[in-house]
Amino acid sequence: MKLKKIKNIEFAQGGVCAAKGFKAGGIQCGLAHSGASVTKKKNDIALILADNICTAAAVYTTNKVKGAPIQVTKEHIVNGLARAVIVNSVNANTCNADGIDKARKMCSLAANQLGISENDVIVASTGVIGQPLPIEPIENGMKSLCESLSYDGNSAALEAIMTTDTQPKEIAVKFKIGDKLCTMGGMLKGSGMIHPNMATTLTFITTDICISAELLQRALSDVVKITLNRVSVDGDTSTNDMVCVLASGLAQNTKISHEDADFDAFRDALYTVMLNLARMMARDGEGATKLIECLCAGADTEKTAEIVAKSVITSNLFKAAMFGEDANWGRILCAVGYAQADFDIAKVDVNIGSEKGIIAVCRHGAGVDFSEETAKDILSQDEIQIYINLNDGNASATAWGCDLTYDYVKINGDYRS
């Protein structure tokens, strides 16, 4: 999948270990189901550790049912500070009477082994909802987990947070703040149960920038709205969604404490990281074969454009048509038509596109003649663009989704087994 970047930002290697002062690691402690291969179970618990205390910010799911780790993490970073992240897969630690106690226990186990305060530990979990989390494997594996930490341990940590993901999702970028070269890296897990309304999946981002906690939170809250919040795989919002950012300050830039050019440069880097993670997640939707990008332009407001774009990428009929490479543009217009926004459907134009080209399928709310053969060739690619113009203003927005395949049902028909 092609990465998207904006001005003055370069891609790098290393994921969450790319920025100065961050180690990561992951092991298989005994929680995991059968892994990616028949010979080795996958890692099921990960740790990120900063060399020093960091500025921290996070956003969380808005589902009324929330995983116990979310409550504990909120308590721990109320002061805007953190140093470590511990996260397990397989079990979401949600809807359990002892969930809070076990989330806190995970923090204390890590803190005691690392010699830091448990209040400086962010905790997260992902996996099956409603099953008690066995703490014994985590306790028994904590020493090995901490010993696995290294400045190039990003891949081991990333493997540990994956559930139904088929592809690793990580990225790192370099950018300038004043005369200082800064770095930011991130990793994400997410393939199904993706339809966010504040954050999405589990996403961990590290940077060596020096920035106040207030502005770090502001940047994260702003950028999540136009990246991860615009992804949908299946219309289900998870109970454990969390995005957190740790900033070590080791780039030694002048501290960003108010909104200025330096803040804008930082936010651009954060946007690049989160945009690409969002696209990776949509492309790796459960059972998916195609990334679908819907660009809605010509709206009276950005909100209208966002509502329309998300309406299209969440339509199951449209998603199924994309799997079948069927240019059934009526399904696009149908999804546009039931979007909860005000506009004149008689003004709407629709094009479909990919690397194979762009073709017009609808003008002024009505169909136009086009080659079905050409359209099928366009839709045969693994990245598809849907262009919608409301012809009602200058605002625009983009949303990302995927096709709906037979394998989505197979994966979710026996998720616990």
Residues with catalytic roles: 200
Distance separating alpha carbons of residues 416 and 150, to the nearest angstrom: 32
Distance separating alpha carbons of residues 315 and 234, to the nearest angstrom: 9
Question: DSSP assignment of 316-356, as one string?
Answer: HHHHHHHHTT---HHHHHHHHHTSSS---GGG-EEEEEETT
Distance separating alpha carbons of residues 126 and 88, to the nearest angstrom: 6
Query: Shortest CA distance to 390 belongs to which of 312, 296, 309, 318?
Result: 296
Question: CB atoms < 10 A from the CB of 39, how many?
Answer: 6
Burial 174-209 (b: 16+ CB within 10 A, else e): bbbbeeeebbbbbbbbbbbbbbbebbbbbbbbbbbb
Residues sharing a CB contact under 8 Å with residue 367, sequence separation 6 or more, in sequence order: 329, 330, 361
Query: Shortest CA distance to 264 belongs to which of 86, 54, 7?
Result: 7
Provide the phi-psi class of 336: left if phi over 0, else alpha when psi is between -120 and 50, else beta. Answer: alpha
Element (H, E) at 105: helix 99-114
